[in-house]
């Protein structure tokens, strides 16, 4: 399948080659109007979400991405109500981009800081977990996507910590593995796959190859785009355009005891998202490597 997808009913009347730069009108009409993210699901699929609406069919199992931006610390998100797929989506009760204190936009903050928050105590959530969950929100490109759009990808808590096997790791371990081998998240194509051996939804990360010279240029351009950093600082609900507040939201501060972190659930070290990508020699895509570019085409045709 060709990477070039046409939206036009009439074909064969193209008077120019390649894709033109957006016009002033195009920039005006699209400014702050489109948010894109790749949604992960408990059924082992990835969905392309545009302004909160699914576009095209879900992709099962695994995708390839290039990570272009992430915050230096793990974020936190807290919902007071239990998850209900049939309920109207709302913003979280409380969240923290850098895992240190509630964001100003949170209408139901649970403490003055995450360090003293009762929702950050082990056992405050279900099955002995913390009610306030760790999370990574990263900005990614899709190799082979002719639009070169930036997407938000949310990495849940159970996909962050732990040890890897070989070159496949949870996200925090994956970053350390890359650095130890002279790479970083923005200099490689990363395969994101569901861990088939896990009892619950978990993602694992594997480096597929170094980025090409063309991809290097795309990464640099994406990192200069404010949209990339914005995706690391807004929740999935905000990316989907949700504005509804959680039920009973109010400004309430509940000071709790200091957190008793256990060794297996401590906040990780900073990730290397701010480093500029190093130029690499052009390489071919490995045979059999899974890519979302074909999926982008399928999504676009729907």
pLDDT, tens digit, 9 for 90 and up, residues 53-108: 999 999 999 999 999 999 999 999 999 988 777 788 889 999 999 999 999 999 99
Q: How many CB atoms are closer than 10 A to CB 60? A: 12
Write out pLDDT tens, residues 141-153: 999 999 999 999 9
The answer, yes or no, to whether residue 232 has pLDDT greater than 90, is: yes
Q: What is residue 155's predicted lDDT score, i.e. its pLDDT?
A: 95
Structural domain 34-95+130-244, CATH architecture: Beta Barrel (2.40)
Residue 267: predicted pLDDT: 38
Sign of the dihedral through C-alpha 258, 260, 265, 270? positive
- Least confident stretch, 74-88, 167-181, 251-265, 284-298: 251-265
Average pLDDT on 289-298 reads 53
Q: Is the Cα dihedral 76, 39, 68, 265 positive or negative?
A: positive
The tokens describing 244, both together, are: 């509804």
Asked whether the predicted pLDDT for residue 256 surpasses 90, the reply is no
The least confident of 15-19, 87-91, 120-124 is 15-19
**Angle at Cα 39 formed by Cα 37 and Cα 41, nearest 5°?**
180
**Res 243: pLDDT:** 86
| pLDDT category of residue 281 using cuts at 50, 70 and 90 | very low
For residues 212 and 36, give the distance between their C-alpha atoms in angstroms, rounded to a whole number: 24
Average pLDDT over the chain, rounded to whole? 79
Alpha-carbon distance of 217 to 277, in angstroms, equals 9
How far is the C-alpha of 70 from the C-alpha of 152, rounded, in Å? 10
Higher per-residue pLDDT: 82 or 252: 82
Report whether pLDDT(302) > 80.
no
More confident residue, 129 or 296: 129
Using left for φ > 0, alpha for ψ between -120 and 50, and beta otherwise, residue 8 falls in beta
Mean pLDDT of 259-281: 37
Q: Is 229 helix (H, G, I), strand (E, B) or coil?
A: helix
pLDDT band at 225 (very low <50, low <70, confident <90, very high): very high
């Amino acid at each position: 399948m060709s990477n070039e997808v046409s939206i036009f009913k009439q074909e064969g009347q193209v008077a120019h080659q390649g894709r033109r730069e957006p016009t002033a009108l195009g920039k005006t009409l699209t400014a702050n109007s489109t948010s894109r993210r790749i949604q992960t699901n408990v059924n082992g699929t990835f969905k392309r979400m545009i302004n909160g609406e699914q576009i095209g069919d879900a992709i099962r199992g695994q995708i390839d991405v290039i990570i272009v931006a992430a915050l230096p610390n793990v974020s936190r998100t807290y919902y007071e109500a239990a998850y209900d797929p049939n309920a109207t989506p709302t913003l979280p009760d409380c969240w923290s981009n850098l895992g240190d204190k509630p964001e100003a936009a949170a209408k139901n903050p649970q403490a003055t800081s995450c360090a003293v928050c009762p929702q950050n105590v082990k056992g405050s959530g279900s099955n002995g977990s913390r009610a306030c969950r760790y999370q990574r929100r990263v900005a990614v490109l899709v190799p082979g996507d002719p639009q070169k759009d930036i997407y938000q990808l949310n990495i849940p808590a159970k996909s962050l910590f732990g040890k890897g096997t070989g070159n496949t790791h949870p996200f925090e371990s994956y970053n350390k593995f890359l650095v130890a081998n002279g790479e970083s998240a923005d200099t490689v194509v990363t395969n994101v796959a569901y861990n088939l051996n896990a009892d619950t939804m978990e993602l694992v990360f594997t480096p597929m190859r170094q980025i090409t010279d063309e991809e290097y240029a795309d990464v640099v351009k994406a990192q200069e785009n404010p949209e990339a950093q914005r995706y690391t600082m807004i929740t999935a609900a905000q990316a989907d355009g949700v504005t509804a507040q959680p039920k009973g939201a109010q400004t309430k501060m509940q000071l709790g005891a200091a957190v008793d972190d256990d060794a297996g659930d401590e906040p990780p070290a900073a990730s290397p998202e701010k480093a500029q990508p190093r130029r690499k020699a052009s390489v071919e895509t490995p045979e059999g490597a899974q890519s979302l570019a074909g999926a982008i085409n399928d999504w676009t045709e729907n």
